[in-house]
A and B are shown apart, each in its own frame.
Chain A
Amino acid sequence: MLILECPNCGVMAEEAELVPGGEAHLKRFGPESSDADFEGYLFQRENPRGVHFERWRHAHGCGKWFHAARCTQTLEVFATYPAQTTAPPQDIRDAISAKRPGWTWREIR
């Protein structure tokens, strides 16, 4: 069972307590954008085998959103961090680099 620490309330939450919210750090494109940008925002996903960044909601706990950095190949959890960010913090990226040298995710590395 996946266990994530909720950075909002500090609870080590089992996955049954959480609701997955899909890929993190999507850039929102609205009505003025190109078809390609809008399609990318609405539908296209990273879906990597390895390092991944996601949104989660502590639905049956404090109710708040947060981010998680995980490996989809091993289910290892690298870190969780607040929802109020547009990219994973540098210290988390460094910690991932130590474990998975050479990883990239979108333009992030």
Chain B
Amino acid sequence: MGKKRYSVFAVAREAVRHHTGWDRAWASPEPRKKYDVIIIGAGGHGLATAYYLGRNFGITNVAVLEKGWLGGGNTGRNTTIIRSNYLQDPSAAIYEKSRSLYETLSQELNMNIMFSPRGVIMLAQTEHERRGYQRTAHANALQGITTEFIGPARVKELVPIINIDGPRYPVLGGLWQARGGTARHDAVAWGYARACSEMGIHVIQKCEVTGIRRDDGGKVAGVDTSRGSIDCDKLGIVVAGHSGVLAQMAGFRLPIESVALQALVSEPIKPCMDVVVMANTVHGYMSQSDKGEMVIGGGADGYNNYTQRGSFHHVEETVRALVETFPIVSRLKMLRQWGGIVDMTGDRSPIISKTPLAGCFINCGWGTGGFKAIPGSGWGFAEMIAKGHSPLTDAFGLERFREGRFIDESVAAGVAH
């Protein structure tokens, strides 16, 4: 508590005393016997949930339990695209809340999360896709989200390295969100963890949940972990690809399948592209990091997998598509490739919900696109845990599948991002 703030003066002060005065960013406490709320999973969504429980509702007797290290799941493996140009109203509301929280998150958390609203283009490369994005632009106008359908000439102006008249899939235009962009993924997890720790919330790493206990009334009572059993009044499951495993411990099933999604980065090159470009028809997207690496992502595998290792032919497909769209990348060496296990729902929208186990809530199903949603999802899920429901998340309940109220975002989430 009472940690020193990060600032330009702190950097200067530490520079003259050889960086000996930095505090640890967060504490590593021993687990208590009992908490008001336990959150399983210290990815961005779990940490943000804990943070807003403390900040917005004064609930700080909270533990976030993480089986590995914080941010080591999809939060530390994603390609960091942030945008809110979705089609349906409930999605637009939560993704735009999230995007707008990102605008000031560095100040809020006193951690530079490097939010870079450099602009995101989603290319239209078939007639069908062009109409789809025009429809999205109209929907966004009604939702109060600033997006615009731009023609091929404007695309070329924004992305000089693009080949707009590729023989197979010429660029017919694009959906442009000028305040979309990227942020530093680790810093988002670290910033929330540090702010949680500051409020007295326990972030406990290397603590795997192995069972979920219920009391005689059938309500959640606590969890068994690799560091002993811990009681709680309320439980939030926020484990992305492992949601099915935790749901099984809690005694229910989910409309979710876990598959591998991969990304790769090239060697660093001089600045050549200062916006994010997504090409959903050909299945590839690319942005340039501050170090100069081209950050590339593509499609997910089609079969269940927990190995954080995807199939090689998807990398080949992605690279093939990008070479056609951006001919200059054909000579680039790729430096690293990795995978994460993403939690896919049938309608490509998340599940933020009560569960059949009383006192147990779940936040999952963000699939290939939940980094952008971390602040908004944490905000809404904290409210749901504290008050039982939240206007931001109510539409994303599990019952929507039974009731046929899908929130269909298969176009907005067309390619993994």
Contacts and interface: CB of A to CB of B under 8 A. Distances in A.
A47 B304 contact: yes
Contacts of A48: 244-245, 248, 304
B255 A43 contact: yes
B250 to A, nearest CB: 14
Between B254, B311, B402, the greatest number of chain A beta carbons within 10 A of the residue's beta carbon is seen for: B402
A61 B235 CA distance: 48
A1 B312 CA distance: 7
A46 B402 contact: no
A75 interface: yes
Interface in B370-415: 401-402
Interface residues of B, number: 23
B313 interface: yes
B257 interface: yes
A54 B326 CA distance: 38
Contacts of A36: 402
B312 A45 contact: no
Interface string A52-76: 1010000000000000000011110
A10 B144 CA distance: 57
A94 interface: no
Chain A interface size, as a band, is 20 to 34
Interface in A1-59: 1-2, 15-16, 19-20, 22, 35-36, 39-40, 42-49, 52, 54
B258 interface: yes
A47 B312 contact: no
B102 to A, nearest CB: 30
Given A44-B253, A44-B255, A47-B244, A20 B313 contact: no
B302 A16 contact: no
B77 interface: no
A45 B311 contact: no
Interface in B287-312: 302-307, 309, 311-312
B256 interface: yes
B170 interface: no
B242 interface: yes
B90 interface: no
A49 B401 CA distance: 23
B151 interface: no
Contacts of A49: 242, 244-245, 258, 306
Contacts of B211: none
A39 B405 CA distance: 12
Contacts of B313: 1, 15-16
B253 A40 contact: yes
A2 B254 CA distance: 26
Nearest to B317: A16
Contacts of B304: 47-48, 52, 54, 72
Nearest to B307: A75
A20 to B, nearest CB: 4
A44 B365 CA distance: 13
B268 interface: no
Given A54-B304, A73-B306, A75-B307, A45 B402 contact: no
Contacts of B303: 2, 15, 20, 54
Given A2-B311, A35-B402, A39-B401, A45 B305 contact: no
Nearest to A22: B257
B305 A75 contact: yes
B346 interface: yes
Between B245, B255, B256, the greatest number of chain A beta carbons within 10 A of the residue's beta carbon is seen for: B255
A46 B244 contact: yes
A20 B401 contact: no
Interface in B314-360: 346
A67 B88 CA distance: 37
Nearest to B305: A72
B256 A1 contact: no
Contacts of B256: 45, 47
B257 A47 contact: yes
Contacts of B307: 72-75
Given A1-B312, A15-B311, A73-B307, A47 B254 contact: yes
A47 B408 CA distance: 22
Given A35-B402, A39-B401, A39-B402, A45 B306 contact: no
8 nearest CB pairs, A to B:
A47-B244, A43-B255, A20-B303, A44-B253, A20-B302, A39-B402, A43-B401, A49-B306
Given A48-B244, A73-B307, 12 more contacts: A1-B312, A20-B303, A22-B257, A39-B402, A44-B253, A45-B244, A47-B244, A49-B245, A72-B258, A72-B304, A74-B307, A75-B305
18 contacts: A1-B311, A15-B313, A20-B302, A20-B303, A36-B402, A43-B346, A45-B244, A45-B253, A45-B256, A48-B244, A48-B245, A48-B248, A48-B304, A49-B242, A72-B258, A72-B305, A74-B307, A75-B305
